[in-house]
Structure 1
Amino acid sequence: MMKLYKVLSFSFLLAALTSCTFTENIYVNDNGTGKYAIDLDGSALMEMAGDQVGSQMGADGKKSIDSTFTFKQLFADKKDSIAKMSPEAQKELKKLENFVVNTKMDAEKKQFLMTLATDFKSVGDLQDILQSMNAIQKLETGSNPATPLPAGLGDNKSKLSYTYDGKKFTRKAVIDKQKLAEKVKDSADMSKMIFASSNYIIKYHFPKRIKKVSNPNALFSDDRKSITIQYPFTDYMENPDKLNFEVEFEK
């Protein structure tokens, strides 16, 4: 498993310099439960640096990878490091235990896909779920970060919450303007360079037909139970409130 982490860490270092697509999927059931997933398509990485990724994989460099693990497994391996963390950080990690990570990497097919998924009992359980990923960065993992996510995802200086009551669904990020200003000042040029050609796509799926969406750029599925909205990744990083919207359902 540690070999896979090394490959993922190296891969995302390169992926930060290529065009990537991040897709946030939410599937809501009639009773309010559902599934949350973040999909990353870094196939452009394989187009640019498939050989380098392969060399990091040593003897297995020419083989494809289709691997699945859970954060709970990772945390078990890192229990000594976790015990040294603050209670707040440990609480954040606890939110991530049930995430399943699937990675598909094939240098020959120029494919690099990753999905992080978890079930939820209520959309309210998803509050700041990506921000919790930052706690993993604090784990003692030597030169390689423990998280397979690239630095920055979930670290856009906002508090994200979701609500769903059967009549309406909302996605709302509240910005910490002071922290965001500091972040933009310190890294605006770098973030624009890294993520200029990357996209953040929202795909939400509901049990009811949608009457209207407050974002005019939303695309509807044929049955009007799903929406897709695409944003530049720089909006997610620098203007996260642009991703706020409300969905109203038919009665």
Structure 2
Amino acid sequence: MILKTAQLRGRALAFIPCLALTLTACNFTEDIYINSDGTGSVSLSFDASEMMAMAGALNDTVEKTKAMDSVMYFSDILDEKKDSIAQLSAEEQERLEKLRPYRMHIKADPETEEMTLSFGRDFDDIAAIGDTFETFQDASALENTPGAGGTPPTPEIRGTSEMEFSFRKGVFKRQTTITDPERHKMKADSLAESASFLSGSTYTLKIHFPSRVKSTTASEATLSIDGKTLIRQVDLVDYLKDPKILDLEVVLED
């Protein structure tokens, strides 16, 4: 029997905190697709099989379903939980509202014990997307709103940086600003405890352009055979400590 929507949603959201900063290696891939008119989509994907199995959730899922291939929309969840969300602070409400354009695609195959998740959204202007990885982590708060019955999330040092994207006249830019250096250092120092567990974890940025790349400031990036996809991979802990390492500028061919 296929899991009910509420069960599926709760199972996925409950694992976001440990998927984002878990005690095992994980590899995240952020794909940005840009059309010639500036519209496009962004998605953050990862293989959750090992972590789900470690927590025992995958085995529980196997007993209840033959397969899972479902998309959940955060706009629906926000509407369903509007009364609970209204009890939160204005800051928390604003943070959760940023989830509205996003959706999560969950696929699981109990026979192979594989599970993948993809968190993403469409955009009319790339300037609207901001930090997808941080927005993804915010999704776990939906299972811990007043009356949800969940355990309050562990306090995190958040909001220490801002990420901006732009795409104008064939020039793409990703720029990060550390808005609170002192708190950001505290956040970086706190990662020391997880560094050994996250050894080997990666964060990969893939940007799919409408035309070939002419030049880029990312000297360590690679290009696809057709020259339209730029790929830059970094160590996950290094990225969490300094998100500026993925900042770059790309100029496309006319």
Instruction: Flag whether TM exceeds 0.5 (same fold).
Output: yes
| Contact persistence 2:26–2:47 (CA under 8 A) | yes
CA–CA distance in structure 1, aligned partners of residues 12 and 58 of structure 2:
12
1:40 corresponds to: 46
Change (3 A) 1:130 1:86: farther
| Contact persistence 1:45–1:112 (CA under 8 A) | no
CA–CA distance in structure 1, aligned partners of residues 16 and 94 of structure 2:
26
Query: What RMSD in Å do the two structures reach over aligned CA positions?
Result: 2.8
1:245 corresponds to: 248
The Cα of 1:101 is off from its aligned counterpart by 0.8
The Cα of 1:248 is off from its aligned counterpart by 1.1
1:71 corresponds to: 74
| TM-score for both structures, normalised by structure 2 | 0.83
The aligned runs of 1:55-66 (5 Å cut-off) are: 55-57=59-61, 59-60=63-64, 63-66=66-69
The Cα of 1:134 is off from its aligned counterpart by 5.4
Q: What fraction of aligned residue pairs are identical, expressed as a percent?
A: 28
* Structure 1 SS opposite 2:169: coil
The Cα of 1:249 is off from its aligned counterpart by 1.3
Change (3 A) 1:2 1:67: same
Unaligned runs of 5+ in 1: none
* Structure 2 SS opposite 1:69: strand
CA–CA distance in structure 2, aligned partners of residues 165 and 215 of structure 1:
18
> Aligned pair 1:21/2:24, yes or no?
no
Unaligned runs of 5+ in 2: none
* Structure 2 SS opposite 1:26: strand
Deviates more, 1:68-77 or 1:87-96: 87-96
CA–CA distance in structure 2, aligned partners of residues 90 and 118 of structure 1:
19
Aligned amino acid, residue 224 of structure 1: G
Q: Alignment length, in residue pairs? A: 243
CA–CA distance in structure 1, aligned partners of residues 215 and 162 of structure 2:
25
- 1:7-63 Cα offsets, whole Å, 9 max, x none, are 2255456652222111111111111111111112223335x538x224444840x63
1:164 corresponds to: 167
CA–CA distance in structure 2, aligned partners of residues 192 and 121 of structure 1:
37
CA–CA distance in structure 1, aligned partners of residues 133 and 171 of structure 2:
23
